[in-house]
Amino acid sequence: MSGKRYVAAGVAAGAVPLAVLLVFFVVPLAGMLERGFVVDGRLDLGPALSTLGRSRVLGALWFTLWSATVATALTLLLGVPTAYALHRLAVPGRRVLRAVVTVPFVLPTVVVGVAFRTLLAPSGPLGFLGLDGTPTAIVAALVFFNVSIVVRTLGPWWDSLDPRRAQAAAALGASPLQVLRTVTLPAMLPPVLSAASVVFLFCATAFGVVLTLGGVRYSTVETEIYLLTTQFLDLPAAAALSVLQLVVVVGLLTVSGRARRHREQPLDRLRTTRARRATRSDLLVLGVTTLTVLLVLAPVAALVARSFQADGEWSTAHYRALGDADAGSGAAVPVTTALANSLRVAVDATVLALALGVVVAVLVTRRATRPSARRALALFDAAFMLPLGVSAVTIGFGFLVALDEPPLDLRGSPWLVPVAQAMVALPLVVRALVPVLRSVDDRQRQAAASLGAGPFRVLATIDLPVAWRPVLAAAGFAFAVSLGEFGATSFLARPTTPTLPVLIYDLIGRPGGDAFGAALAASVLLGAVTVAVTAAVERLRVPGVGAF
Amino acid sequence: MKLRTTALLGTTALLAVAGCSVTGGSEDDSATDDTTVTLLTHDSFALPDELLAEFEEHSGLTLEVVRSGDAGSLTNQLVLSKDEPVGDAVFGIDNTFASRAVDAGVLAEHVPDELPGSAADHALDGDGADRLTPVDWGDVCVNVDDTWFRENDVPAPKTLDDLTEPAYRDLFVTPAPNSSSPGFAFLLATIGEYGEDGWQEYWQRLVDNGVRVVAGWTDAYEVDFTAGGGGGDRPIVLSYNSSPPFTIPEGGKRPTTSALLDTCFRQVEYAGVLEGADNPEGAQEVVDFLVSPEVQAALPDSMYVFPVDDSVELPPLWAKWAEPAPAPVEVDPEAISEHREEWLREWSDVTS
């Protein structure tokens, strides 16, 4: 009897995130699609369909798939060994390095674009490579942005993985390669696929990077939608492309979901593991890690170097001006005020993303006995990935056209920005938690339940001990996502409280004065705050569960 | 150790719940009443706080400024939310998007009583004249690094035609018209100069002469331009007529760059009252405020644009070094609205 009650409670808990998804994603998207497909009250797919036949659109689709696939593969190649080295090996300074690889994720794309071009332009230090305005530059920047996703989703997972299985295999005479093939890789695949699908979605919807580094010669589905919506107001064409995006995303999620589910298995978990000393067999891993750190640091170094230059000389002028309202930069508010706005919004967004994310992750990892229930859970799981794969422009404009009548007239509400950012962070939280919770042997939960533990007690004693670390890591990540979010934020009508990325974007486009220097200094500040916050969050411990 | 981390965790939680939250800090008073007026504008809007506070005090209104996107994004959002506008007044529709906004009927009639006489020079023709009030303008012009040309003993170019001469091969960088608003202004300058059927050929010549096209103004000026601080390799860049004063070196007297005044397209920004506004009287006051002498005088330093009121005094460096183009290239706003997409597609075809 109680089983039914728990199912009812589960459905009720799941209704909350679903309602949020419905209001903040489905309704706006439907609103824009309706504008595109319905002409004079009748469904007219003609203009939309003819869009899909344009060679330009086919080219954009091809380039999107190509660049996202290549970038995802490279991101995994760099990210997986880096996550291993920074979480399992006793690498000196690994805590700092873990925070450092998170920095790219929050840097505004316009700023990163300039930093990359400073390096790659024919006159720059890496100009001899001839990469300026090439697809290679675009892919490099995509890897730069996304490598932190891989490190931060896989790292905490590795933290709590019991190494004794691998040790046992080795003790039984398996070579390191055999251990990798028979023990480590099978265990790793689900979280790697999880991270890969998130990275792919981020790459496929990247916008600023493609524009800046491609020298506008390369268009993706996302840049086309941007152009069609904000410049031409060609809604049928934009709607057609949004549907195309949706189809690609759903296809990807189906494939990766299926691949994951076949491979998920219970794993032994430890509350804490000790990092081991690196040996000679780790040379390759350490080499790749060095490469990752270099890739991350080079553009960041270029950025920092330029932020300390004024009038052709080394100077801290840009930093000293950060607290001023408009010290020649014309900023609407001082950078410090924008930073405070950003932090406030990020707290709201993180709390929201975590609360919703934990609910979603817990629900989708419960064991369902009936196939129909299993399918429902799989759909529920995939639904929260969709916002990552659909254009921020479409959703942003969708807010305007769809949410314009009470009780849903949320335009201009102070909640809009934190909610939008939480929708971006939510999939990351879910993807970080699901593999961990799935790897808990369900028999442990059943045993606890049969001993009389209620569902919350089961969560607290069985799931929490292995999940708290990933939960904290996810919180740090959600915070970082919110701090750096620009795409969705910039398309939402918002009151006088710009976040730091919005202010930086505004500053960097201003022709004259010290605006450019101020934008760079503000970006460095944003990066520094991110390092501090993510490093601090990692140091937090949940008392009684994870204390050493 | 345990105690300290618990404390840390507790503090964080407290911070989250109590002060450090949007909704904890401000009561939601965005409800529609007669004392609140909402101004929709683009991301680059900036005016000194004192001026905004003064306006609120004078008018007894609470001014809420809502920014989103660039001029194009702003205009299209207005068109899409026409039936239920998010605000009362708008500032930042420019002359390349003006006819789209006017034709879509998003603007109500209003002409400020005390509109400066010189504003007439920037007014729209026809229907738009009564609905959009010109507030500021600026010239988008090709800029050159005079120091580079002197050091290399090459005479600087003067006209659009010069840019296609072999002497200036691989020297020019411009932002793209489909991702940058000054970039689009430059495309319009070439269309105005060479005609609707001749500009494609001009651009072909530019491409053949090695023009570099980048995504945004920042890129062009701060990375590729030789005088932009990024140590670039291109001494000719697309920028504004107000750019030269910013290149006066520390302790120097003259700018090291200059604007080519025969290559300019004039961008004008307008303000207006939205049709269906909750507070139309308040919106009119906002529009009147934007053309008041105080705001007009603050425009150059706040938004790097020229006031439409030519009786206000410009900042000294502007008065001396930021020259207006005597005869900027003109393109009819109606034609821009009608052909924008077609021109941008043709441009893509020519340059790729």
B331 and B210, same structural domain?
A: yes
CATH value at residue B254: 3.40.190.10
User: Given an 8 Å threshold on Cβ–Cβ distance, is A493 in contact with B45?
Assistant: no
- Interface residue of B26, B47, B80 to substitute, partner A, most A CBs within 10 Å: B80
The average pLDDT across A304-330 equals 74
pLDDT at A257: 79
Task: Tell whether B235 is within 8 A of chain A (Cβ).
Answer: no
- Using CA atoms, how far residue B123 sits from A208, A326, B55, B116, B267, in Å, is 35, 31, 25, 11, 12
What pLDDT score was predicted for residue B3? 43
| pLDDT tier at A536, thresholds 50, 70, 90 | confident
Residues B189 and B331 in one domain: yes
Q: Which of A227, A539, A547 sits opposite B178 (nearest CB)?
A: A227
Average pLDDT, chain A: 82
ipTM of the complex: 0.77
- Structure-token pair, residue B17: 């719940």
Instruction: Return the pLDDT at B293.
Output: 94
Rg (CA), chain B: 23
Q: Is residue B157 part of a domain?
A: yes
Who has greater pLDDT, B88 or A162?
B88
Residues 75-104, chain A, touching B (beta carbon < 8 A): none
Same domain assignment for residues B170 and B304: no
Distance from C-alpha of B94 to C-alpha of B86, rounded to nearest angstrom: 19
- For chain A, list the domains and their CATH numbers: 2-39+56-304+322-539 (1.10.3720.10)
What confidence tens digit (pLDDT) does each residue in A390-408 have? Answer: 888 888 888 878 877 767 7
B247 plus B275 within the same structural domain? no
Task: Identify the CA nearest to B98 among candidates B331, B270, B264.
Answer: B270
Question: Does residue B234 sit within a domain?
Answer: yes
**Are A152 and A475 a contacting pair, CB within 8 Å?**
no
* B22 located within any domain: no
Instruction: Give A220-231 pLDDT, tens digit per residue.
Output: 898 888 888 888
Do B276 and B259 lie in one domain? The reply is: no
Residue B256 structural domain: 139-265+325-351
Asked if residue A207 has pLDDT above 70, the reply is yes
Q: Closest partner residue to A332 among B46, B230, B246, by Cβ?
A: B46
Q: Same domain, yes or no, for B225 and B336?
A: yes
- What part of A 294-313 touches B (C-beta under 8 Å)? 306, 309, 311-312
Are residues A418 and B22, on separate chains, in Cβ contact within 8 Å?
yes
Nearest CA in chain A to B44: A506
Contact in structure between A241 and A37 (CB atoms under 8 Å)? no
Indicate if B309 and B337 belong to the same structural domain: no
pTM of the model: 0.83
B255 plus B243 within the same structural domain = yes
The DSSP code for B234 is B
Q: What is the pLDDT of residue A276?
A: 77
Q: Between residues A105 and B217, which one has the greater pLDDT?
A: B217
* Residue B210 placed within a domain: yes
Average the pLDDT over A227-244 and give the result: 87
Low-confidence spans in chain B with pLDDT less than 70: 1-33
Distance (Å, whole) CA A286 – CA A432: 24
Q: Is B176 on the interface with A (CB under 8 A)?
A: yes
Backbone angles phi, psi at B143, to 5 degrees: -115, 150
pLDDT per position as a tens digit, A347-381: 999 999 999 999 999 888 877 778 888 888 888 88
Please tell me whether residues B107 and B248 are part of one structural domain: no
A92-104 average pLDDT score = 84
A130 to chain B, any CB pair closer than 8 A? The answer is no
Instruction: Say whether pLDDT at A548 is over 90.
Output: no
Does residue A521 carry a pLDDT above 80? Answer: yes
> In Å, how far is A366's CA from the nearest CA of chain B?
28
Mean of the pLDDT values across residues A164-171? 85
Q: Taking CB atoms and an 8 Å limit, are B76 and A211 in contact across chains?
A: no
User: Do B329 and B195 have their domain in common?
Assistant: yes
Instruction: Please indicate whether, in this complex, the C-beta atoms of B84 and A405 are within 8 angstroms of each other.
Output: yes
Has residue B96 been placed in a domain?
yes
Residues near A480 by beta carbon (within 8 Å), at least 6 away in sequence = A102, A105, A106, A530, A533, A534
Query: Per the structure block, which two tokens stand in for B343?
Result: 């021109």
Q: Is B324 on the interface with A (CB under 8 A)?
A: no
Tokens of B132: 């959009």
Q: Residues 529-548, chain A: which have Cβ within 8 Å of B?
A: 539-543, 547-548
A455 Cβ neighbours under 8 A, 6+ residues apart: A6, A9, A449
pLDDT of residue B23: 47
CB contact under 8 A, A543 and B5: yes
Report pLDDT for A354.
Answer: 92
**B11 part of a folded domain:** no
Residue B184 and residue B210 share a domain: yes
Between CA A142 and CA B201 the distance in angstroms is 36
Whether B70 is in a domain gets the answer yes
Q: Do B73 and A547 touch (CB under 8 A)?
A: no
For residues A197 and A261, what is the distance between their CA atoms, to the nearest angstrom?
A: 14
Please list the alpha-helical segments (H only) found in chain B: 2-17, 22-25, 49-59, 71-80, 98-103, 146-151, 181-194, 199-208, 217-219, 280-290, 293-303, 316-321, 333-351
Among the partner-chain residues B72, B242, B250, the one whose CB lies closest to the CB of A311 is B250
Tokens 């696939």 correspond to: A69
Q: Are B34 and B65 in contact (CB under 8 A)?
A: no
Q: Name the helix (H) or strand (E) containing B64.
A: strand B62-67
* Same domain (yes/no): B99, B125: yes
Record: contact A211-B239, CB cut-off 8 A:
no
CA distance B238 to B172: 8
How confident is the model at residue A412, as a pLDDT?
67
Query: Residue B322 has what pLDDT?
Result: 92
Give, as one character, the DSSP assignment of residue B143. Answer: E
> Which residues fall within 8 angstroms of residue A40, CB to CB, at 6 or more apart?
none
Q: What pLDDT does residue A215 have?
A: 67
Give domain status of residue B18, yes or no: no
Longest dimension (CA), chain B: 77
Neighbours of A392 (CB within 10 A): 23
Q: pLDDT over 70 for what percent of chain A?
A: 91
Q: What is the total count of domains within chain B?
A: 2
d(CA B226, CA B73): 32
